[in-house]
Amino acid sequence: VGFLKQLLEVPIEKLSQTTERKLRTVLETLEENLLKEVNHVVPDPDKKSEYLIELMKKKSQAGAGMLKYSLNVLNCVRVYRVVKPKSDLVIRLQAEAKRATDELN
């Protein structure tokens, strides 16, 4: 229970790039092994993740859940790394605008 709780409460902003790379490497290896069994055929490349999850479900329902969760974590990290600098910039610009407005008044 402790492991699952800890896994579900991973703060995305604290996930290091090293950990992200390791997770990507593990998932790439898993993907390679899953696709090897179907001769590397992906019916719809746009839905590759869903297909991999379905292939994993045939082996393990829990494994499929972990795969889905891991893919979602990586997507969140990717979005966070794009959005966070922009959010920080907005906060800084708002503070500068407030200071400038206060100086004018």
CA of residue 39 relative to chain centroid, distance: 27
Contacts of 41 (CB under 8 A, 6+ apart): 35
Q: Per the confidence metrics, is the pTM higher than 0.75?
A: yes
Domain positions in the chain are 14-104
Residues 36-65: tens digit of each pLDDT: 999 999 999 999 999 999 999 999 999 999
Residues 60-90: tens digit of each pLDDT: 999 999 999 999 999 999 999 999 999 999 9
